Structure 1
Amino acid sequence: MIQYLKNNEIDIKKYDTCIELSTNSRIYAFSWYLNIVADNWDVLVLNDYEAVMPLPWRRKYFIKYIYPPAWTQQLGIFSSTHISEKLVLDFIKAIPKKFKKITIQFNSENKFKHKNVTERVNYVLPLNKSYGEIYKGFNNNRKRDLKKAIKSKFEIVKNINKNDFFNFYLKAEKNYKLNSNQLLKLKSLLDFNDKNIQVWGIYHDKNLIAGLLWLKDDNRITNLLPVASKSSKDLGLPTSFLNEIIYQFSGSNLIIDFEGSIIKGIADFYKSFGIEKENYFLYQKSFNVL
């Protein structure tokens, strides 16, 4: 039986254990992460936490709706056993009718067909080979950037000051814009003291010129937020961050999750590391009340 539980009714220990043991676990789904990035969140639970589906939600004009929080790419259903198409559809049907609009980005293991679904593309790189083998998959642009980065003699500084990173991000040129709520959630994520949240940087004359916020759990390294000045891009420094992660964790059972991109230039950059495609599904349903 699938049961809807409000946040204060959730057995957090059982919930997090389900996420941790899931074959399709994502760091975004842990309670501590959702507490930071979601305005509110409840959950659908199968039996005694055999499978769970977090439901981040907001209220607008007294109307509640389910939305994908900033800094999460894939949520959906999590379980240590196989998730069938029927189970996915059963979970969708169990979403309470009080939510008048639904937008959920299901994870790549939640495979199903539905008229309200759009397929999206993510990029991942398995690290279960030696660094040398993975490096062979880099295209010529990445190898050339690495040579430039080595010649520049800039060093990656690990665990940099998180306020430095946040302020650098605010000032950096971007081809997108975040609203105040998204920036607030980012600041809260940076302020959260957890070893799974890593912030690296490269400095020049004591000024940050490139940075990377990435996440790590037992299964994935998530390339959450790269930031770089134009001069650092010209020197190939963004490539250095990802290369360092690949070098450090090569030969492990981890994968790098690049989080895809609909921006062609960024997508091409990720593809140049010899990645694999990972499809996931965006589910949207509206009752035309917002």
Structure 2
Amino acid sequence: MIRRLKYNEIDFKKYTECLENSEQRNWYANKNILDELSGNWQLLVYGDYEAVMPVPLKKKLGFNFVLMPLFCQQLGVFSKKDDRKINTKFLNFLKKSSKVFLYSFNQNNDFEEILKKKKNYIIPISDYVILRRKKYFKGRKSTAKWAQHLFYKEIDLNADSINFIENNYKGIPKRSDYEKFLRYLVFLNKNGFLKLCGAYLDEKLINLAIVISEGKQLSLLALINDESFKNENGPSFLIDKILENYIHEKSFNFMGSNIRGIEVFFKSFGAELQEYGYLESKILKRIS
């Protein structure tokens, strides 16, 4: 049986134990991450925390709607062994009991019905030399090699790096969302999850990869480019250097895209497609 728990009713000890022992273990479902990104979430629970499903909420027009927070890619059902029957019970409970703008399950969740899919690209822990030789696209290999005149450096989150982000970030049109992004970076930095990887031409920063580092995975939160130096191939150089430094010990999550050109860029480094299901109401989403 599935029941809904409000935030103050959740047994976080049992919740955390379920997450840590789950087949679908996912960083975004951790309490501190959801608290930061959503601030308003509830929990669907099966049995005595045998399976759990965090549900982020957003209040609109006096009602609570289910909506994935900014910068949170996947949530879904977490259990010791993924069970399509139990997952489907969660899915049906959510659809019947909630107004869903957008909810993303995780790549390990299987269901008795077919859901619409989003794309994600991941490079598993690998030998860098073999990855580069066998899985890089030929063009990406040569582009990364051509860009070796650039200099790679990991830098701190400070006034200079924030100024570079401020001047070059193109992905968030709303000022309020951009300010939330900066607060998220401060949170990640304070908790030891943030890596800022820069590409320099001489002494000038021209590209910046914002990366989340947790456990055995790196996740690309943003790739920020000074368009004045587009011909220097900084993005290819940066990703190649990050993989060279870390892919032997951490997988690399590109965080997905349905834009064809970005997909090809991800795949050109040997990334593997991993799809995940989602629910979305386009009508409700327009007024969110």
1:37-48 → structure 2 map (5 Å cutoff): 37-48=37-48
Task: Work out which of the residue numbers 119, 122, 126 in structure 1 matches 2:120.
Answer: 122
- 1:54 shift after superposition: 0.9
CA contact (8 A) 2:45 2:51 kept: yes
The AA in structure 1 aligned to 2:145 is: K
How has the CA–CA distance of structure 1 residues 63 and 268 changed in structure 2, closer, same or farther, with 3 Å as cutoff? Answer: same
CA contact (8 A) 2:199 2:208 kept: yes
What corresponds to 2:107 in structure 1? 108
CA contact (8 A) 1:27 1:216 kept: no
Q: What is the CA–CA distance in structure 2 between the aligned matches of 1:75 and 1:196, rounded to whole Å?
A: 19
- 1:204 shift after superposition: 4.9
The AA in structure 2 aligned to 1:201 is: G
Name whichever of 13-22 and 85-94 sits farther off. Answer: 13-22
SS in 1 for 2:94: coil
Q: Which whole-Å deviations, capped at 9, do the CAs of 1:34-63 have from their partners, x for residues lacking one?
A: 111114111112233322211111011101
CA contact (8 A) 1:25 1:219 kept: no
Q: What is the CA–CA distance in structure 1 between the aligned matches of 2:228 and 2:112, rounded to whole Å?
A: 45
Name whichever of 32-41 and 277-286 sits farther off. Answer: 277-286
What corresponds to 1:95 in structure 2? 94
What corresponds to 1:26 in structure 2? 26
SS in 1 for 2:151: coil
- 1:281 shift after superposition: 0.8
Task: Work out which of the residue numbers 182, 191, 195 in structure 1 matches 2:177.
Answer: 182
Q: What is the CA–CA distance in structure 2 between the aligned matches of 1:21 and 1:239, rounded to whole Å?
A: 36
Q: Which whole-Å deviations, capped at 9, do the CAs of 1:61-88 have from their partners, x for residues lacking one?
A: 1011001111111111122x22222111
Task: Work out which of the residue numbers 139, 151, 154 in structure 2 matches 1:155.
Answer: 151
1:35-74 → structure 2 map (5 Å cutoff): 35-74=35-74
- 1:262 shift after superposition: 1.7
The AA in structure 2 aligned to 1:241 is: L
Q: What is the CA–CA distance in structure 1 between the aligned matches of 2:141 and 2:110, rounded to whole Å?
A: 36
Q: TM-score, normalised by structure 1?
A: 0.86
Is 1:200 the counterpart of 2:207? The answer is: no
How has the CA–CA distance of structure 1 residues 68 and 96 changed in structure 2, closer, same or farther, with 3 Å as cutoff? Answer: same
The AA in structure 2 aligned to 1:220 is: Q
What corresponds to 1:244 in structure 2? 241
SS in 1 for 2:73: coil
The AA in structure 2 aligned to 1:82 is: K
1:220-235 → structure 2 map (5 Å cutoff): 220-235=217-232
- 1:237 shift after superposition: 1.8
Q: What is the CA–CA distance in structure 2 between the aligned matches of 1:107 and 1:256, rounded to whole Å?
A: 17
CA contact (8 A) 2:124 2:252 kept: yes
SS in 1 for 2:212: strand
Q: What is the CA–CA distance in structure 1 between the aligned matches of 2:110 and 2:161, rounded to whole Å?
A: 37
Q: TM-score, normalised by structure 2?
A: 0.87
Q: Which whole-Å deviations, capped at 9, do the CAs of 1:87-130 have from their partners, x for residues lacking one?
A: 11111233386632342111111122547x31122111112x31
The AA in structure 1 aligned to 2:184 is: L
Q: Which whole-Å deviations, capped at 9, do the CAs of 1:173-199 have from their partners, x for residues lacking one?
A: 63x543234223211211111222222
In structure 1, runs of 5+ residues without a counterpart are none
Q: What is the CA–CA distance in structure 2 between the aligned matches of 1:132 and 1:11, rounded to whole Å?
A: 46
Is 1:191 the counterpart of 2:186? The answer is: yes
CA contact (8 A) 1:232 1:238 kept: no
What corresponds to 2:251 in structure 1? 255
What corresponds to 1:85 in structure 2? 84
- 1:18 shift after superposition: 2.6
In structure 2, runs of 5+ residues without a counterpart are none
What corresponds to 2:165 in structure 1? 169
Identity %: 29
SS in 2 for 1:82: coil
SS in 2 for 1:178: coil
Q: What is the CA–CA distance in structure 2 between the aligned matches of 1:40 and 1:25, rounded to whole Å?
A: 21
CA contact (8 A) 1:75 1:107 kept: yes
The AA in structure 2 aligned to 1:258 is: F
- 1:286 shift after superposition: 8.2
User: Alignment length, in residue pairs?
Assistant: 283
- 1:201 shift after superposition: 2.0
* Cα root mean square deviation, aligned: 2.6
CA contact (8 A) 2:24 2:82 kept: no
